[in-house]
Structure 1
Amino acid sequence: MSKPIIKVEDLSKAYQIGQFGTGTISRDLERFWTTKIRGKEDPFLRIGEANDRSVKGASDIVWSLKDINFEINEGDAVGIIGKNGAGKSTLLKLLSRVTGPTTGQIKVKGRIASLLEVGTGFHPELSGRENIYLNGAILGMRKKEITRKLEEIIDFSGVERYVDTPVKRYSSGMYVRLAFAVAAHLESEILIVDEVLAVGDAEFQKKCLGKMGDISKGEGRTVLFVSHNMAAVKSLCNQGIVLDKGRLVDYSGVDDAIAFYSANSMKDFDSPSVHKSFGDKITITNTEIRSNGLPIGKGETLYLGDKIEMSVSMDIHENISDLSIAMDILNTNSELMAHVSNEDDGANFGKLLKGQQLTVTIRTDALLFIPGSFMINFWIGAGHIESIYTIKNFFNFHLEQSNFTKRTRPLPQHSRLYLPSFWNIQTRER
């Protein structure tokens, strides 16, 4: 029977927004006396709020994590999932002892290798080879242990040509290749990986996921993995932790955890659109969505092969030389299914002048996603860099199978997209 290798009890982490301190010397002294001398909880943290970035708060204290409790057994591969700002990265930093908890405690049996962000633990002036030894020493490895794994690490990373070059000259992709290779091959009992693998190319991501699978299933080591890619979480992990606004809302088998997260994400689909303006450079005056020539509302059921047409009208309040528009289409797991941009399709708005009115109409080609529910977020900016206006949950819809495909059985849910193809079949007598 597996034994717990990580035990988390009443774990919380608070951060202060804005200036540090309480604002008065007397309150700072009270905080020092209570926390440092008496060893009690900070009295000024009780007024803190949950970490909901979408609303303006009344307190300058936010709880990135609040009252987290769980145990992880030796050999488990645990996917930590949740929306942006849910507390996933904070939890990994606490487990890796990059930062300390505000309250609660963490008990860990064994050494931890962490890959939290590009270049974690690397010294930029040292070469790749020297950083391998440095990371190993930090993990408590003996020099001969590191030397034994050295060639394997270099080969896996694919940066052999540059291994004696200072890492400050590495690209972000080279950085993460070497960092993952070091974390995965040195003999730690626990491997913690944040979603830094997105920096690498597709081939390297696949290689990393395979290595993490070997570590967990083949070597019996414990893996904690943060990702928005539910397919990767499902294939790699056997357990799932779901975080929401700093609280642990589900800890179960990975299939159940993903299902819980998906059901929770559906609440966003039912919520109103959220408009946010940056600098009041434009005002949205009208939006309209049509399908098959008819206006449709949010939550409409569409069918495989349908097209949608979206119109957005706006008043221009300042001169804009390089207007940019983009849309993200997300599924219920908050996974990006498609990104649509005027840049991709060669649409140029020219210079827009103060006082002008603009109407932009975007018509998609046939929707070929595997049936499910989808949300469209709308972004308006300048030069594809500066945000001018955003609309979260601009439009959502349900997509169902149709006679666009001749298939009579449901399309497989592990796929993402239906790709029409053309077949030529020939038979002849021998």
Structure 2
Amino acid sequence: MSIIEVNNLGKRYNIGERQGYVALRDVLANIIRAPQRWFTGKVHGNKANDQNSFWALENINFQVEKGDVLGVIGRNGAGKSTLLKILSQITPPTTGEIKLRGRVGSLLEVGTGFHPELTGRENVFLNGAILGMKKNEIKKKFDAIVDFAGIEKFLDTPVKRYSSGMYVRLAFAVAAHLEPDILIVDEVLAVGDIDFQKKCLGRMKEVTTKEGRTVIFVSHNMGAIRGLCNRCILLEDGKIKSIGDTNRIVDEYMSISNSAAAVEIKGRDHVKGNGSVLINTVSMEDATDNVKKTTFAINESIRLSVDYEVKDSTRSDISFWVFFSDREGKQIISSFQKDTGIVSGQDIGRHRLAIDFNELGLLPGKYSVSMGVFRHQGTGIDFADWVDYCLTFEIDNFFANGQIFDQRLGVVDKKAIWKVLF
């Protein structure tokens, strides 16, 4: 028998409508009078005007077996957090039902269950109680919780003075030691530092492999999803687009996310140049298997393909250049074709150029590509075309060999030859 069953689940929100104040006693009274209706979406009725409402989730059906680690992925607004709130019994569904066979522990928002005026020590007991732990159970696990969180020095400091990272460390430590049958974790781990993220992922893997518990994990880190989850759901516009093997689902999601990996350059995108050579399209792909995408691992091989057109018959050398810029527009890396001694096609008509970067070395973050064309006239150089920020791409926080990125200074990770001389 499945530990989680979700049948015909839907959640509708009314746009621009404020729900009236509902006291806790009213909620409890509703649950006591009709416990089944509360989580089958019939408590509030279906009075919403279709024109003023939208479905955050619609017709969601899946099952999770004991010991499974289910990843939930999708773009922002796909319905991931709404699904987790319903599974955590924080938000009731509008339609359908869920069946949870076991105790649920969830970590959905930074600082959930924390009182800002209380110390970390006091909040361990408060947060543990909210998550369903008994006082004696918390006492037995207190040292392990504090050790896992690594905040012993600040244990008697009010949490209002904690950083968001410290909030997450303490909250996850409590949830991880709750020993629930089902552990639900949202993207909050992104707030913590790299070492703590690795520690949390290790704990979740331990919870499933050694303790046989079930985990539902939402993340934008595809490396973490691949490494932790044996099954995966891809949400799109509130519906399940695909469900199944993690690698297959992640590959499908990446292909959807990278649909803008090829860009046609419009007239207004040409910054300057004499127009004798024009860049028509630029695409980005994995140089190893030629798959178009815009998310890469650190030091993964990247290829830029450029379709351009020579407009006049001047037999002068043509060479390209490329800039990689960070999110603030600062140029990080440049590469010039003229330095290689290789020139591009000069005949009138269409041509294609491939630019391979075997180990670009950029550290995790978002970057953009700008490029241009030179026409070499004797000792002089003219701009033929210049296109700014024609593509954007992202370097994920893991290496091409699967190793998770550890915190480093700088912008570029460069390999070197290291020799011990003494």
Aligned to 2:140: 148
Q: Give the match for residue 256 of structure 1.
A: 248
Q: Give the structure 2 partner of residue 125 of structure 1.
A: 117
1:179 corresponds to 2:183: no
RMSD: 4.1
Displacement, 1:341? 3.9
What CA distance in whole angstroms lies between the structure 1 residues aligned with 2:230 and 2:402? 17
Give % identity. 45
- Check 1:419–1:249 CA distance in 2 against 1; reply closer, same or farther (3 A cut): same
Residue 286 of structure 1 aligns with which residue?
269
Q: Which residue of the other structure, out of 207, 220, 243, is the alignment partner of 1:215?
A: 207
Distance 1:111 1:64 in 2: 26
Alignment correspondent of 2:283: 300
From 400, 416, 422, the counterpart of 1:421: 416
What is the DSSP-based 3-state SS (H/G/I as helix, E as strand, rest coil) of the residue aligned with 1:78? strand
* CA-CA distance at 1:272 after TM superposition: 7.5
* 8 Å contact kept, 1:75–1:222: yes
Q: Does the C-alpha gap of structure 1 residues 218 and 269 become closer, same or farther in structure 2, counting only changes over 3 Å?
A: same
Structure 1 SS opposite 2:208: helix
Paired residues of 1:125 and 1:167 also in contact (CA < 8 A): yes
Task: Give the direction of change, closer, same or farther, for the CA distance of 1:369–1:145 in structure 2 (3 Å limit).
Answer: same
Partners in 2 of 1:143 and 1:244 — Cα distance?
Answer: 42
5+ residue gaps, structure 2, are 20-36, 288-292, 303-323, 337-355, 370-388, 394-398, 406-411
**Corresponding residue of 2:316:** none
Counterpart residue identity of residue 179, structure 1? A
Q: Distance in 2 between matches of 1:396 and 1:131?
A: 43
TM-score (norm 2): 0.64
Tell me how far apart the structure 2 counterparts of residues 262 and 74 of structure 1 sit (CA, whole Å).
Answer: 28
Partner in structure 1 of residue 56 of structure 2: 64
Larger radius of gyration: 2
**1:4 is paired with a residue of what secondary structure?**
coil
Partner secondary structure for residue 58 of structure 2:
strand
2:7 alignment partner, one of 3, 6, 9:
9
Report what 1:277 is aligned to.
Answer: none
1:161 and 1:376, CA in 2 relative to 1: closer, same or farther beyond 3 A?
closer
Aligned to 2:391: 395
How much has 1:86 moved relative to structure 2? 0.8
TM-score relative to the length of structure 1: 0.63
CA distance in 2, matches of 1:196, 1:242: 19
Between the aligned partners of 1:253 and 1:302, the Cα distance in structure 2 is: 24
- 1:113 CA displacement: 1.2
In the alignment, what sits opposite 2:227?
Answer: 235
Q: For each residue in 1:296-353, what CA deviation from the matched residue of structure 2 results, as whole angstroms up to 9, or x when unmatched?
A: 343436897xxxxxxxxxxxxxxxxxxxxxxxx94189xxx9970447569xxxxxxx
Q: How does 1:375-394 map to 2 (within 5 A)?
A: 394=390
Segments of 5+ residues of structure 1 without an aligned counterpart are 22-34, 48-58, 275-283, 305-328, 347-361, 379-392, 398-410
Aligned length: 317
Mapped to 2, the partners of 1:273 and 1:110 lie a distance apart of 55
Q: Report the CA distance shift for 1:295/1:193 in structure 2 as closer, same or farther (over 3 A).
A: farther
| Equivalent residue number for residue 192 of structure 2 | 200
| Comparing 147-156 and 110-119, the one that deviates more | 110-119
Native 8 Å contact 2:258 2:295 kept in 1: no
Change beyond 3 A, Cα 1:199–1:302? closer
Distance of 2:220 and 2:14 partners within structure 1 = 27
1:74 partner amino acid: K
For the 8 Å contact 2:262–2:283, the answer to whether it is kept is no
With over 3 angstroms needed to count, the CA separation of the structure-2 counterparts of 1:343 and 1:289, relative to structure 1, is: closer
- In the superposition, relative to structure 1, how do residues 364 and 121 fare at CA in structure 2: closer, same or farther (>3 Å)? farther
Describe the shift of the 1:112–1:370 C-alpha distance in structure 2 as closer, same or farther (beyond 3 A): farther
**Structure 1 266/142 Cα, relative in aligned 2: closer, same or farther at 3 Å?**
same
Q: CA deviation at 1:97?
A: 1.4
Q: Aligned pair 1:42/2:46, yes or no? A: yes
Q: Deviations over 1:245-265 (max 9, x none)?
A: 110111102112112212333
Task: Give the deviation of 1:241 after TM superposition.
Answer: 0.8
Deviation track 1:269-311 (CA, whole Å, cap 9, x = no partner) reads: 468799xxxxxxxxx9534599xx965343436897xxxxxxx
Kept in 1, the 8 Å contact 2:107–2:171? The answer is yes
Letter in 2 for 1:331: T
Counterpart position of 1:96: 88
SS of residue paired to 2:180: coil
C-alpha distance in structure 2 between counterparts of 1:103 and 1:124, whole Å: 36
Instruction: Report the equivalent of 1:77.
Output: 69
Matched to 1:177, the amino acid is R
Shift of 1:141: 2.2
C-alpha distance in structure 2 between counterparts of 1:369 and 1:258, whole Å: 24
Supply the AA of the counterpart residue of 1:151: D
**In 2, Cα distance between the equivalents of 1:287 and 1:208?**
47
